[in-house]
């Protein structure tokens, strides 16, 4: 669970790349590619999960197919000192907020919001604006994606450079 030393070699990196491409690749198949037995691959994957490098396995879904057709980023401006903990509370109460972070620049926080349509998005925005310490919001609607959309939490490749 805890990511302590977290030292991993070239082999681990290749395993991660394989699992990011397809989380259902069998250990034997990965092993065949990188030159290791299925057992060895399994043990390394277990270790990567224990050390917190791999946090889970999820299905990637086309949001529009599920009825989420509107996407936007919302810059949030707070009154005085913005307490990240209270913001986190607010954010958790709105399922349409799929990501939230504190940022540099004029705004205190940046939210990623998914909604059914523009009407639904407006409703979410109104809900956010009722929060006492939120002073102002600026919305940027997403028009189209220029790349197929890689996972927010993971990098395109297993290692920088």
Partner DNA sequence: AGTGAAACTGAGTGCGG
Partner DNA sequence: CCGCACTCAGTTTCACT
37 sits near DNA (criterion: CB under 7 A): yes
Stretch that binds DNA, among 23-31, 102-110, 116-124, 134-142 (CB under 7 A): 23-31
Residue 133 binds which entry of a second copy, DNA, none, CB below 5-8 Å type-dependent: none
> 16 vs 61, 65, 114, CA distance in Å?
20, 28, 29
When binding is defined by CB under 7 A, the residue of 10, 29, 89, 122 that contacts DNA is 29
When binding is defined by CB under 8 A, the residue of 28, 32, 33, 103 that contacts a second copy is 103
Closest approach of DNA to the CB of residue 39, in Å: 4
Helix (H), strand (E) at residue 121: helix 118-129
When binding is defined by CB under 7 A, the residue of 44, 90, 121, 128 that contacts DNA is 44
Among 155, 148, 161, residue whose Cα is nearest residue 17: 155
Residues 51-80 binding a second copy (CB under 8 A) are 51-68, 73
Closest approach of DNA to the CB of residue 26, in Å: 3
Distance from C-alpha of 47 to C-alpha of 35, rounded to nearest angstrom: 18
Start-to-end CA span in the chain (Å): 27
When binding is defined by CB under 7 A, the residue of 1, 2, 5, 35 that contacts DNA is 35
101 sits near a second copy (criterion: CB under 8 A): yes
Among 104, 7, 92, residue whose Cα is nearest residue 48: 7
Query: What burial class does residue 20 get, using C-beta atoms within 10 Å of its C-beta: 0-12 exposed, 13-18 middle, 19+ buried?
Result: middle
Distance from C-alpha of 94 to C-alpha of 100, rounded to nearest angstrom: 11
Closest approach of DNA to the CB of residue 48, in Å: 12
Residues that bind DNA (CB under 7 A): 11, 26-29, 31, 35-40, 42-44
């Amino acid at each position: 669970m805890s990511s302590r030393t977290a030292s991993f070699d070239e082999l681990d990196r290749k395993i991660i790349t394989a699992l990011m491409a397809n989380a259902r690749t069998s250990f034997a198949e990965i092993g065949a590619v990188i030159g290791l037995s299925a057992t060895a691959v399994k043990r390394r994957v277990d270790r990567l999960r224990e050390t917190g490098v791999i946090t889970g396995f999820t299905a990637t879904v086309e949001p529009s197919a599920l009825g989420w057709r509107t996407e936007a980023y919302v810059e949030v401006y707070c009154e005085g000192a913005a307490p990240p903990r209270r913001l986190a509370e607010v954010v958790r109460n709105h399922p349409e907020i799929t990501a939230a972070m504190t940022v540099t620049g004029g705004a205190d926080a940046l939210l990623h919001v998914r909604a059914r349509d523009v009407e639904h998005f407006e409703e979410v925005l109104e809900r956010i604006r009722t929060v006492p310490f939120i002073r102002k919001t600026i919305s940027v609607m997403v028009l189209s994606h220029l790349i197929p959309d890689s996972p927010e939490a993971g990098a395109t490749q297993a290692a920088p450079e």
